[in-house]
A and B are shown apart, each in its own frame.
Chain A
Amino acid sequence: ILNVEQSPQSLHVQEGDSTNFTCSFPSSNFYALHWYRWETAKSPEALFVMTLNGDEKKKGRISATLNTKEGYSYLYIKGSQPEDSATYLCAFVSGNTGKLIFGQGTTLQVKP
């Protein structure tokens, strides 16, 4: 069974704080690592798809890094805003199967 773990499970920060979460995944047979943001009552939204060791991707105040050799990815949010409040899910793809295995998610609450 392939295990994808995210930490922390939940996080409460003040507006303006920077924060980061971790996604751990198996380091063997790696194909891709996805990050999604899921706001309450909305559809999960893709943030990044990362494939190469050492990859760094950025979208606005959100960025992600990837280490496939040790099996982890970090998601960073700079200057958190209340609208960043959501559950952030990572998903591991083993081999070129198209099959996403999701972690449990990190729920972020940003207080104004």
Chain B
Amino acid sequence: DTEVTQTPKHLVMGMTNKKSLKCEQHMGHRAMYWYKQKAKKPPELMFVYSYEKLSINESVPSRFSPECPNSSLLNLHLHALQPEDSALYLCASSQQGTGPYEQYFGPGTRLTVT
């Protein structure tokens, strides 16, 4: 199974809502990533978890809160978002966080903040 799954596919939330994005992989990968992609722009790294510990936070605002409950799961908790946070959120995993390993991407969650 070389699949990374993400739920939900689409999410519409108000600026006062709290919601979570979920990502799952069963490839035994020890690194997981969150990326944000705005229209016509490349994916931008937000967070990296390596062996279930946060190893990179790309100065992401605290209204985004990542969580890695175990090596297969990655969550992104959202609270008090702004309309400019509307984007495609991609999750990825790789064998390890360092080393020349390809990343396997999920299909993304399309988030709209109203």
A interface list, Cβ under 8 A from B:
31-32, 34, 36, 41-46, 49, 51, 89, 93, 96-105
Shortest distance from the beta carbon of A112 to any chain B beta carbon, whole Å? 26
Q: Is B42 touching A98 in the complex (CB atoms < 8 A)?
A: no
CA distance A32 to B92 in the complex (A): 17
How many positions in chain B have a CB within 8 Å of any CB in the partner chain? 26
Could you list 13 A-B pairs, sorted by A, with CB under 8 Å?
Answer: A34-B102, A41-B107, A43-B4, A44-B43, A46-B104, A51-B100, A98-B31, A98-B97, A98-B98, A100-B43, A101-B45, A102-B42, A102-B44
CA distance A38 to B98 in the complex (A): 23
Q: Is B108 touching A43 in the complex (CB atoms < 8 A)?
A: yes
B22-49 to A contact mask, C-beta < 8 Å, 1/0: 0000000001000000000111110010
Shortest distance from the beta carbon of A68 to any chain B beta carbon, whole Å? 13
